[in-house]
Chains A and B, each alone.
Chain A
Amino acid sequence: MSVAGNPSPPDSGDPNPLTAAIGRLRRDPSLLVPYLAVGFLFAVLDWVRRRDPLPALEFESLGANNGISVTVEFVGYPTGVPQTSVLLESFVGLRLGYLAWGIVSYVLPLLAVAGAGAYVLDRAIGVDRRSETDSWVGSITPLFGFVLAMDLLQRLLGSIELLQSLLFGLLALVIYFFVLIRLFAVPGLLVAGYAPGEALRVSNRLTHGRGWRLFGVVLVLGLAAWLLASVPAPVVGTVLSTALVAPVHAVAIAVVLRPLEQHRGR
Chain B
Amino acid sequence: MPSRRRVLAGGGLGLAGVVGSVRFVERPIPLDHEVESAIDWPMPRYDPAGTGANPDATGPREDPTIRWERDLRDLQGPMPAPPTLYGDAVFVVGRSSLYALEREDGRIRFERTGYSYLSSPTVASADAYRSPTLAVRGNEGVLGLSASGGYALAGRGIGLERWYGPGEEPPTRTFANPVPPSPVAADGTVYAALPDLDRLVAVDASSGRLEWSYEPDLVWPGEPNRPAVRDGTVYATFRPDVVAAIDAGTGDVHWEIELEPAEPEDEHDYRELVAPTATEAGLVVPSRRAVSLLDPADGSRIWEYEHGGRVTDGSVAVADGTVFAPDGRDDLHAIDLETGQEVWTTEYGLDAHPVVAGDVIYLTYSWLDDLIAVDVENGERLWEREIGAGPSQPIVGDGVLYFAGHEGVTALEDGGDGGDGEGGE
Contact = CB atoms under 8 A, between A and B. Distances in A.
A binds B: yes
Contacts of A98: 128-129
B162 A152 contact: no
A154 B206 contact: no
Interface string B156-198: 0011011100011001000000000000000000000000000
B73 interface: no
Given A54-B207, A88-B10, A93 B5 contact: no
Q: Is the interface of B mostly helix, strand, loop or mixed?
A: loop
B5 A161 contact: yes
B141 interface: no
A260 to B, nearest CB: 29
Interface in B3-56: 3-14, 28
A224 interface: no
A92 B160 CA distance: 8
Interface string A132-169: 00000000000000000001111111110101100001
Contact of A89 (B1, B6, B204): B6
B168 A152 contact: no
Interface string B200-223: 000010111100000000000000
B205 to A, nearest CB: 9
Interface in B112-161: 126-131, 144, 146, 148, 150-151, 158-159, 161
Interface stretch (A56-64, A112-120, A203-211, A227-235): A56-64
Given A53-B207, A58-B168, A159-B8, A93 B1 contact: no
A55 interface: yes
Interface string A55-95: 11110100010000000000000000000010111111111
A87 B8 contact: yes
A198 interface: no
Nearest to B2: A158
B7 A158 contact: yes
A163 B5 CA distance: 10
A212 interface: no
B159 A159 contact: no
Contacts of A156: 8-12
Contacts of B14: 152
Nearest to A55: B163
Contact of A158 (B5, B206, B208): B5
B7 to A, nearest CB: 5
Contacts of B158: 89, 92
B161 A89 contact: yes
Interface string A30-59: 000000000000000000001011111110
B12 A53 contact: no
A20 interface: no
A172 interface: yes
Nearest to B165: A55
A93 B209 contact: no
A195 interface: no
Which of under 10, 10 to 19, 20 to 34, or 35 or more describes the interface residues of B?
A: 35 or more
Contact of B4 (A57, A91, A151): A57
A7 to B, nearest CB: 28
Nearest to A65: B168
Q: Is the interface of A mostly helix, strand, loop or mixed?
A: helix
B10 A152 contact: yes
Contact of B162 (A55, A157, A176): A55
Contacts of A92: 13, 28, 146, 150-151, 158-159
A169 B2 CA distance: 11
B1 A52 contact: no
A104 interface: no
B13 A89 contact: yes
Nearest to A60: B168
A4 interface: no
A89 B8 contact: yes
A108 interface: no
B171 A164 contact: yes
Interface string A100-135: 000000000000000000000000000000000000
B207 A55 contact: yes
B2 A157 contact: yes
A45 to B, nearest CB: 15
A31 to B, nearest CB: 28
A152 B7 CA distance: 10
A133 B324 CA distance: 81
B131 A89 contact: no
B168 A57 contact: yes
Contacts of B6: 87, 89, 159
Contacts of B13: 88-89, 91-92
B248 to A, nearest CB: 18
B7 A94 contact: no
A64 B4 CA distance: 13
A57 B130 contact: no
Nearest to A158: B2
Q: Interface centre among B150, B158, B167, B207, by most A CB within 10 Å?
A: B207
A1 interface: no
A155 B13 CA distance: 11
A159 B7 contact: yes
A160 to B, nearest CB: 9
A162 B253 CA distance: 43
Given A64-B168, A172-B1, 11 more contacts: A55-B144, A60-B168, A88-B9, A89-B13, A89-B150, A89-B161, A91-B13, A92-B151, A152-B14, A155-B2, A158-B2
29 contacts: A53-B127, A53-B128, A54-B206, A55-B162, A55-B209, A56-B207, A57-B7, A58-B168, A85-B7, A88-B9, A89-B150, A92-B158, A92-B159, A93-B130, A93-B131, A93-B162, A94-B130, A95-B129, A95-B130, A98-B128, A153-B11, A154-B1, A155-B9, A156-B11, A156-B12, A157-B2, A158-B8, A161-B5, A172-B1
> Which 7 A/B pairs are nearest by Cβ-Cβ distance?
A92-B159, A158-B2, A152-B10, A53-B206, A55-B163, A89-B8, A53-B128
Interface of B: 1-14, 28, 126-131, 144, 146, 148, 150-151, 158-159, 161-163, 167-168, 171, 204, 206-209
